[in-house]
Structure 1
């Protein structure tokens, strides 16, 4: 009954099913893995202990910044040089700006240090000056910002002394010395100025470690691929069943009248037409014979 599965047409259908189902399962598994990776990264980011309870390490030992070293306390020694303001940053649902100072280390390279946050508009309020002389700072390590980071101002055209993005790329044309491709934010114990106006900026979770819309898109794609695999298998069984029923009906002689082949129908119509053509003149011949 199922010999039709070996016909050329069904070979093509079977090959498609054999390739489509593993592909759909593979893609669904891959999307599920992406979702699980994001969940794991989110759990690691949220379960990190308080930075004050962990031993700080020298800056060079924590570079380059990744999901493991992001948020770790880093120690650097040097002298403060240029200072910039980073406008448009929110803290505790209030809008303000970061105070960013560049710490020139012993090697000459500068580390961007966010000393704190001030409310208001950058340039409209007095900013505490950075400490003079050599200092040692301990701050939470952060990766350089990009256009997808929260609070980044990509419009450009900022006044002198202001910066829209904390990164080495945005500072390369503003200072004449090398800058680390990372930055630190000082904890509360070191962020307070003489007047106590500045507030510390908490370290942010590594980018891509949160359960954002993309994470749930991966989960949705997982379901879609598995549904596709099930749909392909369902349609294959349905087609096989329908074909098997048709073969069985033919074998039992249950094929309804009118399902003959087109060649048979054409031949039957031709014979009927020929008989009709020879039968028409018969009455005229009879009448002529009677008249004579």
Structure 2
């Protein structure tokens, strides 16, 4: 049987072809977007792994110090600086300690304890000393927070960039609370300039739980890449299958429904 594809030039099939190309193109682009997200997340995970075992470097070597007066912040750290293991020496200021509410560790919701560490030059950096469970009597009761070490201390930990959409600290049950860690919003409530980043301590204060680094689910994005590209291939294949079927015409078992002169009357089979 001769297969003829002249019908592909008809308006109807040209429309099918255009729709197929458009759909496949969109799916390929979605796959490329997910591939880019995979590389971004894999890079973050690599930085987290490196920050776990790397030798800490001076905080000021990674992020710029604030140059203004009290209530101001310095420049934000570069994106690649996140999760860098840093070290900084100073004195904790428990009078301006802040609890970050709604933080989950090992499936439990509690508070992260954010305490300013004042450096020798009078500037400060916020240090996440660890996580604490809420009071058993409810949210309106202050949790039992272990006191920050006194005197000069050296803290090492992972550098974290400012979080978005932060609000000013609010007084709750005798202590300050926030939902997001945004130094630029917190700084005006403090008597010193802040680094526009915070340090998540490697070793939490006794009585607090270390806040674990949450890795990105890069494999999920890799799965989406395969999914979108498979859909694109199936779309193109489906168009080719329908075109081939159209070109071949009716199947042999349908020929008996045609006019009698197309059938051998003696044998009952198609000529």
**So what's the TM-score if we normalise by structure 1?**
0.59
| Residue 175 (structure 1) aligned with residue 184 (structure 2) | no
- Tell me the residue number matched to 2:5: 2
Q: Where do 5+ consecutive residues of structure 1 fail to align?
A: 259-292
| CA offset digits 1:61-107 (Å, max 9, x no partner) | 33506454424123244674733152666778888755533233455
1:182 Cα deviation from its structure 2 partner: 1.5
| Residue 131 (structure 1) aligned with residue 150 (structure 2) | yes
1:20/1:78 Cα in 2 relative to 1: closer, same or farther (>3 Å)?
A: same
Residues 91-110 of structure 1 aligned to structure 2 (within 5 Å)? 98-105=112-119, 108-110=122-124
1:244 Cα deviation from its structure 2 partner: 1.5
- Tell me the residue number matched to 1:75: 88
1:211 Cα deviation from its structure 2 partner: 1.9
- Tell me the residue number matched to 1:84: 97
Distance in 1, Cα, partners of 2:130 & 2:251: 82
- Tell me the residue number matched to 1:280: none
**Larger RCO (CA within 8 A; separation ≥ 6):** 2
CA RMSD of aligned residues (A): 4.5
| Contact residue 62 and residue 74 of structure 1 kept, 8 A | no
1:74/1:6 Cα in 2 relative to 1: closer, same or farther (>3 Å)?
A: same
- Tell me the residue number matched to 1:283: none
Query: SS in structure 1 opposite 2:195?
Result: coil
Distance in 2, Cα, partners of 1:243 & 1:4: 9
1:211 alignment partner, one of 214, 217, 221: 217
| Residue 61 (structure 1) aligned with residue 76 (structure 2) | no
1:229 Cα deviation from its structure 2 partner: 1.6
Distance in 2, Cα, partners of 1:93 & 1:224: 31
1:154/1:3 Cα in 2 relative to 1: closer, same or farther (>3 Å)?
A: farther
| Contact residue 158 and residue 201 of structure 2 kept, 8 A | no
| Contact residue 84 and residue 162 of structure 1 kept, 8 A | yes
Residues 196-235 of structure 1 aligned to structure 2 (within 5 Å)? 197-199=206-208, 201=210, 204-205=212-213, 209-211=215-217, 216=220, 218-235=221-238
| Residue 143 (structure 1) aligned with residue 144 (structure 2) | no
Distance in 1, Cα, partners of 2:238 & 2:160: 50
| Residue 38 (structure 1) aligned with residue 41 (structure 2) | yes
| Contact residue 169 and residue 186 of structure 2 kept, 8 A | no
1:225 Cα deviation from its structure 2 partner: 1.9
1:161 alignment partner, one of 168, 175, 187: 175
Q: Where do 5+ consecutive residues of structure 2 fail to align?
A: 65-76, 136-140, 261-271
1:235/1:101 Cα in 2 relative to 1: closer, same or farther (>3 Å)?
A: closer
Higher normalized helix content (fraction of residues): 1
1:28 Cα deviation from its structure 2 partner: 1.9
1:144 Cα deviation from its structure 2 partner: 4.8
| Residue 256 (structure 1) aligned with residue 258 (structure 2) | yes
Q: Between Structure 1 and Structure 2, whose CA radius of gyration is higher?
A: 1
